Chain A
């Protein structure tokens, strides 16, 4: 076989990603389908010295045009880019998961069938007669376990056979079932063979009966008005998807009849599901799982964090070395403040992205993520999101960037972006370090009330933001309730997952580096003293618009600290401390951003310079500001959208100031 292009097609939980990762290893890249907001995964592998390209098509339950994912999958197959389509089914649930195969039958592209998760089926005591299935279905069939180590030879052989034989599904028996549907034969008369390349008349007739909008509009464009009217009439009077679906399942039953023997069905829920699916313990169990996952994410992340902090520590010696070598101050600053600082951030962040992607990818593969979806479906549905969105929210209490990376498990792009946008409203670990400290200085025991107020504001913020952004991001037809399978738990294939996560982390590195350097660079420009004796731009802006920011309760020092908190919340206190002690602005920024501590007499400084109402305003402004430059970069990485990332960032800057204004007015009333 000369080189081939393969497309992977399968329902959710059919082990498609595992197979893709195992086949491609690090030779894969993730992007977006042109003009669409759906993730595109492509890769390659070498077989017998030939390079084969492989595309992982978005997972869906069928090939009806219900969503962008399904449309992309269909268009890709029909385009003829793939020489062969590998259809996956779950051996432990053949009857249901062969639906995709039945839906595919009639597409004019060679295919072969992989009955994945053979190990799960065997555990259930099922025996599957592959040969008899193959005989009835007419394409190569393989019983396979994508999670089992190195046994991929049979896979390659089956693939090769399908490419050589150009094998197509035998649709005779299926068509006999379709013939029983009222209107099918008439449709077949009207729609000529070859009217739309890649699809047979049988397939188009069935999709028309199902009321598939894309197929109907293609037919409308290609048929005479009279003929199209006939098509419409037939379809309006038909039973649609119910009838065709029943035909498909009858065909599947026929194929499986005598090929699959199973012991008596037993559907006792396992111990784990007794807990996850319990009405009382479900939610606590999910929250605990996510928090443990978060902690586990830190384990692989720790070495990276150490390296990242080590990089930041290089600033001082590098600066000294450069200065003594006679470099101009501006160059020293650029290298140390912008470059070294950026890389320190990025490396620390990558460790965490790696950890989160690995741990939550594992939960997804094992089947826990589906349970999380089930438990939080109702709660998250109120925001127009899936149950899975609860996970990024919880992770964001630790780190917003981790939350953004974790949002990757959400399969609908709009819901993913909205989830990240809402996760920004969750104060992260760095904010939680600052909030109690500042609150305690100004309000003593009242700090508890401030924290409660912040949590309530967070919930309100998320709700309002969901309303504002949700209108655009989550279309009405995506706001349907869940209809999903809770897959049986299965063993993950760690090696394949690890390679995938490494690849993703590499991707992230490439993408975020530019964003972080750019943002850090802009802040540096704003805070650097170019002309000795004059003030940096940020100072001039801050003092010039102080009359305006005073309305929000922020004097120029606090306003600049607010701006600094967009780079990193941990830097905010250091900046305040430096500014009120008359420090040099650019040095202050610099020191604060690399985590330098505040002055020892910070409490006095704050109490003499800032009123209680102003403090309250600042706490709210800082908490609900953009989380940090790294979270911004991660958001860009996950959404692939400059437009939405910018929108979210500007929105948060604006709402943070608005909340500050409200907090200030309330503060004035109280104090």
Chain B
């Protein structure tokens, strides 16, 4: 499923990242790589998504989230 489908407080593992080279390098340099676990902090309409990963609170624009596929895990 896509990251943006996850509700608040759900946990997931990043499965796959798709996008252009620029997106790939930006998303990996902020710490999101396949296999890393994340937790959704906020998923509000008209705001970037807020996730927590590698000790960091990260804001992600919704369009950018399209390329992030995740598998939900029980929290």
Residue of A64, A103, A486, A487 touching B50 (CB-CB under 8 A): A486
Q: How large is the interface on A (under 10, 10 to 19, 20 to 34, 35 or more residues)?
A: 35 or more
Cβ contact within 8 Å between B57 and A486: yes
Cβ contact within 8 Å between A481 and B34: no
Residue of A62, A242, A244 touching B34 (CB-CB under 8 A): A242
Instruction: List the A residue with the shortest CB-CB distance to B52.
Output: A267
Residue of B39, B47, B63 touching A282 (CB-CB under 8 A): B47
Residue of A93, A370, A378, A480 touching B47 (CB-CB under 8 A): A378
Residue of A95, A242, A486 touching B58 (CB-CB under 8 A): A486
CB within 8 Å for A277 and B34 given contacts A374-B47, A485-B57: no
Query: Closest CB of chain A to B59's CB: distance in Å?
Result: 5
Instruction: List the A residue with the shortest CB-CB distance to B53.
Output: A96
Cβ contact within 8 Å between A99 and B59: no
Give every chain B residue within 8 A of A212 (Cβ-Cβ). 25
A56 contacts chain B at the CB level, 8 A cutoff: no
Cβ contact within 8 Å between A64 and B31: no
Query: Closest CB of chain A to B37's CB: distance in Å?
Result: 11
Q: How many residues of B contact A (CB 8 A)?
A: 38
Instruction: List the A residue with the shortest CB-CB distance to B42.
Output: A277
Give every chain A residue within 8 A of B60 (Cβ-Cβ). 481-483
Give every chain B residue within 8 A of A477 (Cβ-Cβ). 22
Give every chain B residue within 8 A of A211 (Cβ-Cβ). 21
A249 contacts chain B at the CB level, 8 A cutoff: yes
Cβ contact within 8 Å between B25 and A64: yes
| Distance between Cα atoms of A212 and B25 in the complex (Å) | 9
Cβ contact within 8 Å between B31 and A249: yes
Instruction: List the A residue with the shortest CB-CB distance to B23.
Output: A480
| Distance between Cα atoms of A378 and B39 in the complex (Å) | 22
Cβ contact within 8 Å between A99 and B22: no
Query: Closest CB of chain A to B17's CB: distance in Å?
Result: 6
| Distance between Cα atoms of A103 and B58 in the complex (Å) | 20
Give every chain A residue within 8 A of B47 (Cβ-Cβ). 279, 282, 374-375, 377-378
CB within 8 Å for A485 and B48 given contacts A61-B29, A62-B25, A477-B22: no
| Distance between Cα atoms of A381 and B55 in the complex (Å) | 27
Cβ contact within 8 Å between A485 and B56: yes
Cβ contact within 8 Å between B54 and A481: no
A246 contacts chain B at the CB level, 8 A cutoff: yes
CB within 8 Å for A242 and B50 given contacts A92-B55, A481-B62, A486-B57: no
Query: Closest CB of chain A to B8's CB: distance in Å?
Result: 11
Annotate B21-37 by CB proximity to A: 1 below 8 A, 0 otherwise: 11111111111011110
Give every chain A residue within 8 A of B33 (Cβ-Cβ). 242, 245-246, 249
B72 contacts chain A at the CB level, 8 A cutoff: no
| Distance between Cα atoms of A279 and B36 in the complex (Å) | 27
A484 contacts chain B at the CB level, 8 A cutoff: yes
Apart from A94-B55, A99-B28, A377-B61, what are 12 other A-B pairs with CB-CB below 8 Å? A61-B26, A93-B54, A211-B21, A244-B28, A245-B33, A249-B31, A375-B47, A377-B48, A482-B60, A484-B30, A484-B58, A485-B59
Task: Name B residues whose Cβ lies closer than 8 Å to a Cβ of A.
Answer: 17, 21-31, 33-36, 39, 41-42, 44-48, 50, 52-64
Task: Name A residues whose Cβ lies closer than 8 Å to a Cβ of B.
Answer: 61-62, 64, 66, 92-96, 99-100, 103, 210-212, 240-242, 244-246, 248-249, 265, 267, 269, 277, 279, 282, 370, 373-375, 377-378, 381, 477, 480-488
